[in-house]
Chains A and B, each alone.
Chain A
């Protein structure tokens, strides 16, 4: 899923200063699951903003709404009636939701209330970890299902660097060394010989380095 974190209340408050009426808009998909931008978080942020702006002596009226998926036009149609009533929207969807809103409703400014952080997985209650960098050329088939691009601090392709000790990364002792995990997994699978192959540098054209990416599926087009 896309994992995100809410910006500080101060930053959000700052971004809406000068507006009289603002819509806090949540999203019912990834950011709901990671407790950053669902209906519940919309309610909390809206109340916080009401209180904070009142305390500052410049109360801002806050409306609340949540759509099922803010990255798709059809779901955002459900809040079209609210938009003429407000001066701005604070979106607590991921960056894709914020951009969809701005694109779909250019007459109103939608501002981000979250920092979109990574593509990841909840590993325990209240903990999320990065798992994919969307490099566009998946290597998981040769690395025992553990991604060295996203999970190794240096995106190494040929095994653990000299800073791997006791199974953790030298950059952060709370992060497992991805290549240590790969080594253990490949050993358990009896496929250690795959680790001996030389991996030349990656073709990054499929990653963000090739510019903004786009997929066109002719078989699906109308």
Chain B
């Protein structure tokens, strides 16, 4: 899929992907306060190093600054946002309203998600919404853009246009159904897909082969999700405690070996060794997924470690980012 003449939203993300460049996206988690400085601090590590920045929508159901508000701030800072929108907290009235506003503010990329269940967050006593799931949201937003109608069918004179994204987890169960679920998202309107963090590359390659067999790769750009592991504890946590994550023993062992010979009281040295190894693994994974047919780019999720992004992109040989 390399046509440049049929732009949907004309975002930088869309232009980079359609021009055939290997794309790099980043992620910024909004603060749990009204602190704008945090955003400016995180943004400086991402500016110029990635083609677009995902802004999470109250991720893991923890109350954070609005993803659309942060998106507008990034636009002011000269960074292209990819706004994430979940179906957990808003019904179709609120989502459409927010998206009209986001579009008017200049947001051109949108990632449609069902959203983490509120039981994982800091308000497990909240009433959830789930008026729709991610696929229902993609269908709704596609119709808003292409047909200029609200979900109820009412016409609008200036429809919002978003380059539409979806998430995919190649490692969740049932594995056999995962490629079909991705195909459903493409059919529903996803122009690009960002995957869950990949540490098991052979399993991801098998998933991509199956996605290719379904014939949907001509209709969607797949960005492989990658991220640096900050410590052995983080590796173990992801390997054992996070549902839907696949961190092979070999990765955990590498993080463990990274501090071999460094006494446990030398905390700073151990931290540095872990971070170096985490970044090294991340760069290797980027190079490996790049070779997999159908992978159009990487989505780097350096959660609360945005300052690692410039190093990763540089070491992976993905600098400078294209200007189109």
Residues of A within 8 A of B (CB): 153-167, 170-171, 177, 180, 183-184, 195-196, 198-202, 204
Beyond contacts A154-B115, A201-B151, A202-B132: 10 other A-B pairs, Cβ-Cβ < 8 A, are A154-B128, A156-B130, A159-B177, A160-B181, A162-B172, A167-B173, A183-B174, A195-B177, A195-B180, A201-B139
Contact B183 A166 (CB under 8 A): no
CB contact under 8 A between A200 and B114, given known A162-B196, A162-B244: no
Complex: how many Å from CA A154 to CA B116?
9
Q: Is B92 an interface residue (CB 8 A)?
A: yes
B33 to chain A, nearest CB (A): 27
B189 to chain A, nearest CB (A): 10
Closest partner residue, chain A, to B167 (CB atom): A162
Q: Is B28 an interface residue (CB 8 A)?
A: no
B235: chain A residues within 8 A (beta carbon): none
Contact A160 B174 (CB under 8 A): yes
Contact with A along B172-204 (1 / 0, CB 8 A): 111001001101100110000000100000000
A180 to chain B, nearest CB (A): 6
Q: Is B249 an interface residue (CB 8 A)?
A: no
Contact B173 A166 (CB under 8 A): yes
- Please report whether the interface of chain A is mostly helix, strand, loop or mixed according to DSSP: loop
B35 to chain A, nearest CB (A): 30
B196: chain A residues within 8 A (beta carbon): 162
Contact A158 B181 (CB under 8 A): yes
Contact B117 A170 (CB under 8 A): yes
Complex: how many Å from CA A171 to CA B124?
11
Contact A198 B244 (CB under 8 A): no
Contact B188 A198 (CB under 8 A): yes
Contact B173 A160 (CB under 8 A): yes
B56: chain A residues within 8 A (beta carbon): none
B287: chain A residues within 8 A (beta carbon): none
Complex: how many Å from CA A156 to CA B136?
9
Chain B 80-134 residues near chain A, CB threshold 8 A: 88, 92, 114-117, 119-120, 128, 130-134
Complex: how many Å from CA A162 to CA B177?
11
Contact A198 B114 (CB under 8 A): no
Complex: how many Å from CA A201 to CA B188?
12
Complex: how many Å from CA A202 to CA B184?
17
CB contact under 8 A between A200 and B139, given known A154-B130, A155-B130, A156-B114: yes
Complex: how many Å from CA A213 to CA B310?
57
Q: Is B135 an interface residue (CB 8 A)?
A: yes
Contact A198 B133 (CB under 8 A): no
Contact A157 B133 (CB under 8 A): yes
- Offer 10 A-B interface pairs, CB within 8 angstroms, sorted by A: A153-B119, A154-B133, A159-B181, A162-B169, A163-B116, A164-B243, A171-B119, A180-B173, A195-B180, A196-B184
B174 to chain A, nearest CB (A): 5
Contact A164 B131 (CB under 8 A): no
CB contact under 8 A between A200 and B136, given known A156-B114, A163-B244: yes
Complex: how many Å from CA A99 to CA B136?
37
B182 to chain A, nearest CB (A): 10
B136: chain A residues within 8 A (beta carbon): 157-158, 199-201
Residue of B128, B133, B167, B183 ringed by the most chain A CB atoms within 10 A? B133
A177: chain B residues within 8 A (beta carbon): 173
B167: chain A residues within 8 A (beta carbon): 162
Contact A196 B180 (CB under 8 A): yes
Closest partner residue, chain A, to B214 (CB atom): A196
